[in-house]
Structure 1
Amino acid sequence: MPRSRTGTVWVAICVTVLVLGLLIVFIAQNTETVDVSFLWMDGTVPLAVALLIAAAGAGLLATIVGTIRIAQLRRLHRRS
């Protein structure tokens, strides 16, 4: 049976629901508060929130670096 866009979207939705379910369990299990200091800001947040913010920041940084590298490679490919 050939692949279709509908089938691909269905698999993507299933994976997304599974990841969100695991994320909900992660947040529910890590509710204790922790002290966070960043530059001049201090405060307390739930551990899950602090970890999710750190992961989102790392993902954003990786996306930026990857985008810059892809742009470099495209520019190099156009020149040759």
Structure 2
Amino acid sequence: MLSFWNWIGISSVNNFSGITIFELPCYSPELNLIEIWWRFIKYKWIDKMLTLIGKLLSHLLKKFFDNLEKIM
């Protein structure tokens, strides 16, 4: 596969104008910090938060209906 740098006519980009350029694979989630963070949120945090919110909602609804029975 022809890289972008070869395509525009630059054969060596290791030290072009004092800037080091690293060519990364097209998709490399292990090198992208937001991908690592999203994986944690998606598989660890969301499940725990939904479970906690479900328990809290269940408790609040039970308390509401118990108090509603006392009023009526």
| TM-score, normalised with respect to structure 1 | 0.39
* Higher radius of gyration, 1 or 2: 2
More helix by share: 1
| TM-score, normalised with respect to structure 2 | 0.42
More strand by share: 1
Q: Which structure ranks higher in relative contact order (CA pairs < 8 Å, sequence separation ≥ 6)? A: 1
